[in-house]
Amino acid sequence: MLDSDRKLAEFLRSLSRYTGLTLRPAVGVVAGFFGGRYLDNLWETGPLLATAGVLAGLALGLVALYREAVKEVKGERDRK
User: pLDDT (tens digit, 9 = 90+) per residue, 20-79?
Assistant: 888 989 999 999 999 999 999 999 999 999 999 999 999 999 999 999 889 988 987 887
Packing angle of the helix pair 48-79, 3-43 (nearest 10 deg): 160
What pLDDT, on the 0 to 100 scale, is given for residue 75?
A: 83
What pLDDT, on the 0 to 100 scale, is given for residue 39?
A: 97
Helices then strands, counting H and E runs in the chain, come out as: 2, 0
What pLDDT, on the 0 to 100 scale, is given for residue 80?
A: 67
What pLDDT, on the 0 to 100 scale, is given for residue 79?
A: 75
What pLDDT, on the 0 to 100 scale, is given for residue 34?
A: 98
Nearest-angstrom CA–CA distance, 60 and 29: 9
Position 30: which residue type?
V
